[in-house]
Amino acid sequence: MISLLDEDQKELGRFSRWSQVVDYIHKIQVYQLKYLTYCKLPFQEKHAELLETAWRFVYYRQADLTTIYASFKEDITPTVREKQAFDQGHDLIEIYKGDLMCIQVSVPVDLDISLLEKDWCQEYCEAHGYLLLESLDKKSIDDNSSKASTTGGADDLVI
């Protein structure tokens, strides 16, 4: 179980997967930026759309890349990572960490995406004064204990 706390230690949400935390953070970002932009520049909606990319974790499936790649005009060339992912049949992740500079990751089958999501969430929370708490819930404890071999448990047959 993952808990997201604000700067006053108030719980904002509880999640079972890192991808859910990413989605929640994206919603926080979009709401805050649109609100701030509207307050300062009520007729500048395009400004908010640009700022929404400041903290993003975007996952493109291979089918999405195929569509995007097919729609490129002659004067637009894909990045090295985009072309690599497309040519190898991989998905692609774009990571933005507070600026418009993007880190692109080609996603092979064995890549642990949840680890990338976790790192991104932790960096976002550090930059914005939030706190993440990760704990084991009863279900994950039960799942892990059923896989482990133990001796001397309460349900052992006594002879």
Candidate from 8-12, 39-43, 87-91, 153-157 with smallest mean pLDDT: 153-157
Give the residue, 58 or 142, on which the prediction is more confident: 58
- Indicate if the pLDDT at residue 36 is higher than 80: no
Give the alpha-carbon dihedral of 126, 53, 105, 131, to 10 degrees. 20
pTM for the complete prediction?
0.69
Residue range 67-118, pLDDT digits in tens: 877 777 676 778 888 888 888 889 999 999 887 788 999 998 888 999 999 9
Place of tokens 């993003």: 56
